[in-house]
Structure 1
Amino acid sequence: MPKVPKVEDIKILLRRNKKSLLQELRQSKEAMSLIKKSTRTSLTDLEKDKIKIHLLDICKSVPALAIFLLPGGTLLLPILIKLIPDILPSAFRDQEN
């Protein structure tokens, strides 16, 4: 049976990744405002690139979440991140460098 994370373990992980989580939230907010803007006006190439990057991050997060939810996924996901670092959203990749 997989180990269920304790509340304290989750708090530690959230504190450790706080900067990356906040950056990801800011990027999401910016992407949403750009998507809203695109319904009224045309976007610049830079704005289109920002949206594309963020949508790719979302597409990468879905498989990672699915792996995490599998039995034993809490053990498998860190291994996959070491093998395939591109599976992380950009905010978390920047933290590692």
Structure 2
Amino acid sequence: MQTVDEIKVLLQKNKERLLQELKQSKEAISLIKKATHTNLSTEEKDKIKVQLLDICKSIPALAVFLLPGGALLLPLLIKLIPDILPSAFRDKEN
């Protein structure tokens, strides 16, 4: 039963991280729309840059996950290359 509880905790944590990442993506989209008719501040440009980098980091992780055995390979890859995860999914202790 301890494993089930651990899985529930991990699922809840990842759900919150996914919601945070979606919120950041939504903010980036609104800033990109704003950039079509006004100039952005340096802070706004930095937010877009960080979010686009997060999106670019998600693509290789998704590709690895979709490979046969990728669900097992991805955690190992994350241990070796922790920067492959988007910022919302990185542990705060690192």
TM over 0.5, yes or no? yes
Q: Shift in Å at residue 16 of structure 1? A: 3.0
Aligned ranges 1:1-97 → 2 under 5 Å: 12=8, 14-93=11-90, 95-97=91-93
Structure 1 outlier segments of 4+, above 6 Å: none
Q: Which amino acid aligns with 1:58?
A: I
Residue type of the partner of 2:78?
A: I
State the Cα distance separating 1:18 from its structure 2 match: 1.8
**Residues in 1 aligned to 2:92 and 2:78: alpha-carbon distance in whole angstroms:** 11
Alignment partners' CA distance in 2, 1:65 and 1:96: 22
- What runs of 5+ residues in structure 2 fail to find an aligned partner? none
Aligned length: 87
TM-score, normalized by length of structure 2?
A: 0.85
* C-alpha separation in 1, matches of 2:15 and 2:68: 26
Q: 1:76 to 1:66 in 2, by over 3 A?
A: same
